[in-house]
Amino acid sequence: MNEYRILAINPGSTSTKFAVYYNDECKLNKTLRHSIDELSSYKSILKQFDYRKGMIIDALVEEGFEVDSLKYIIGRGGLTYPLESGVYLVNNEMLKHASDGVYGQHASNLGPLIADFIANQIPGAKAFIADPVVTDELDEIARITGHPQFEKRSIFHALNQKATARQHAKKLGVPYESLNLIVAHLGGGISVGAHKKGRVVDVNNGLDGDGPFSPERSGGLPTGQIIDWCFESGRSKADIRRMVVGEGGYVAYLKTNDARDVEEMARQGNEKARLIQDAMAYQVAKSIGEMAVVLEGQVDGVLLTGGVAYSEYITSFIKTKVEFLAPVYVYPGEDELEALAKNALRVARQETQAKTYQPKIR
């Protein structure tokens, strides 16, 4: 059997995670932490490129890996223009759009840039991304917001949602494309997607904090109140964005973004913590109900995933609300590096074909 050697890279806000896989076997999984002081010396995320890719290469050498033996380099996809789901070869157009941050600046934009750089140093190596956060398979009707000035954007935890759905289908012994699933990613941000025969036809914008509130995001706030607040508070655009993304949800109510802290507070009798925890789970359950309507009630399963899905209290709360719709399955945690590696392996084994990045700019 051929041995395919894969390097998976996931740049995050304060860390760079990477892993080495030989076929399905993880040989190295490492998280490089970056302090706020270290990152503050760079004027933009793009300026962090040399720093982060250098740390990866140095760590690989230090761990005794022959960098030249890694032929499939796959990075987390960033905020380029929207794409359908799949594995993509990194090309110059993708690199430009990731560098420009055409849909925003985020550390994930460095994913294709670092993957491409490392692949270019290795004879015969190729660089890829898979299921980026801008994966867009929305039905046209789902894009309509209520005013032509605004259009719904598909930005969500596509990599983990797709990986979890495929894992579930494999467990059942059926193709992912044969199922109708509702997948709820419960993490620092929350996204709930309707997976219809392999396509996510509707999902809340998890980046901007639409939908349920989460440990860090405010969710769908009352429109009239937020308009008044924006004009009357004297806050800057950056302040308001932080209120919605980063300083909303648990952070705003309870001064922590750690769901484990909130659960412990509730367990010890903090009634406010219990109410806020219940309210978040309640909103997730409501979103799952909305997606059941999208799928016209034909739901084969509801999948709960992400770090917050480790909480038996929260998953039980949601299950009680929605199990009348379909069986509920819990896949706690998220392993985006494993998901990336598996996507690269699918290409290596010719189980799928890498696509060309040619976005349709809306």
188-212 pLDDT tens trace: 889 999 999 999 999 999 888 799 9
Cα gap 270→33, rounded to integer Å: 33
Residue spans of alpha helices (H) in the chain: 36-40, 49-62, 92-100, 110-120, 140-143, 158-172, 223-232, 237-244, 250-254, 259-267, 271-294, 312-322, 336-348
Please write the tens of the pLDDT for every residue from 65-107: 999 999 999 999 999 999 999 999 999 999 999 999 998 888 8
pLDDT of residue 254: 96
pLDDT of res. 236: 93
Which residues of the chain register pLDDT less than 50? Answer: none
Residues of the chain with CATH 3.30.420.40: 5-137+337-356, 158-333
Query: What is the C-alpha to C-alpha distance for residues 70 and 74, in angstroms, rounded to an integer?
Result: 11
What DSSP state is assigned to residue 354?
P
CATH superfamily for 158-333 is ATPase, nucleotide binding domain (3.30.420.40)
What is the dihedral sign for C-alpha 181, 215, 333, 135? positive
Using CB atoms within 10 A of its CB, is residue 359 exposed (0-12), middle (13-18) or buried (19+)? middle
pLDDT score, position 362: 66
Q: What is the pLDDT of residue 360?
A: 73
Superfamily of domain 5-137+337-356: ATPase, nucleotide binding domain (3.30.420.40)
pLDDT score for 278 = 98
Rounded Cα distance between 97 and 357, Å, is 11
